[in-house]
Amino acid sequence: MRLVVARCQIDYAGRLTAHLPMATRVLMIKADGSVLVHSDGGSYKPLNWMSPPCTLREGVAEDGTVLWTVTSRASTKGPEDTLQILIDKVFSDTSHDLGVDPGLQKDGVEKHLQELLAEHPSHLGEGLTLVRREFPTAIGPVDLMCRDGAGGSVAVEIKRRGEIDGVLQLERYLELLNRDPLLTVKGPVRGIFAAQEIKPQARVLAQDRGMTCALVDYDALRGLDNAEDRLF
């Protein structure tokens, strides 16, 4: 990884245009080819970036100022994205070999939630039993396929943080699953959207689409306390 602290001006052109006036910033060039521009504020998000594959060329502008040009093309049909970094002064330029990253290991991620809910499906609804984990569909596997007390099929999508994208994902699964006559013998396949936290907009959308939302208490599932999951 290369880290450059420099006073610079940034101009992006592609699907839209963006301009960052001259100021001191951190330029991060990662081993995977990505280029990120950070300021000393604005949380963790870069001000601008280029995702790999992209090409970085170091040259000079007409007035002799150092000019970096980063180019990338998202698709063969789309416009070429260009990030031009005009560098007025470099304060620091260092490179570091970070080696192979083992990846982030988190407790309570979707895989663990799925495993625990597969063992205790009744936490999502009374009388619910597991049919299969990772139930296959043409657009990807449903986290859990269950059966309710009346024999009806129930598809469960599990997220650590429930947002609108997750609701739409479950909706696409349900559309496909409800075309299978073997799953709809006892009526349409129902959907349960389960997460440790569900955003209000996602909850409203899920309920509007006829889905049940389930807030999952991860510690309770692990038997660490006596708290109960809340259904609404």
Give percent of the chain above pLDDT 90.
67
pTM: 0.53
Domain ranges, ordered by start, for the chain: 2-95, 110-231
Average pLDDT over residues 153-169: 94
As a three-state string, the secondary structure of the chain is CEEEEEEEEEEEECCCEEEEEEEEEEEEECCCCCEEEECCCCCCCCCEEECCCCEEEEEECCCCCEEEEEEEECCCCCCEEEEEEEEEEEEEEEECCCCCCCCCCCCCCHHHHHHHHHHCHHHHCCCCEEEEEEECCCCCCEEEEEECCCCCEEEEEEEEEECHHHHHHHHHHHHHHCCCCCCCCCCCCEEEEEEEEECHHHHHHHHHCCCEEEECCHHHHCCCCCCCCEEC
Mean pLDDT of the chain: 88
178, pLDDT greater than 50: yes
pLDDT of residue 179: 94
User: Could you tell me if 183 and 189 are in contact, meaning their C-beta atoms sit under 8 angstroms apart?
Assistant: yes
pLDDT digits (tens, 9 = 90+) for 70-107: 998 655 556 689 999 999 999 999 999 988 777 655 55
- Do 28 and 35 meet the contact criterion of CB atoms below 8 Å apart? yes
| Assigned CATH for 110-231 | 3.40.1350.10
Which pair of tokens denotes residue 188? Answer: 């349409």
CATH (residue range 2-95): 2.70.180.20
Q: What is the pLDDT of residue 106?
A: 54
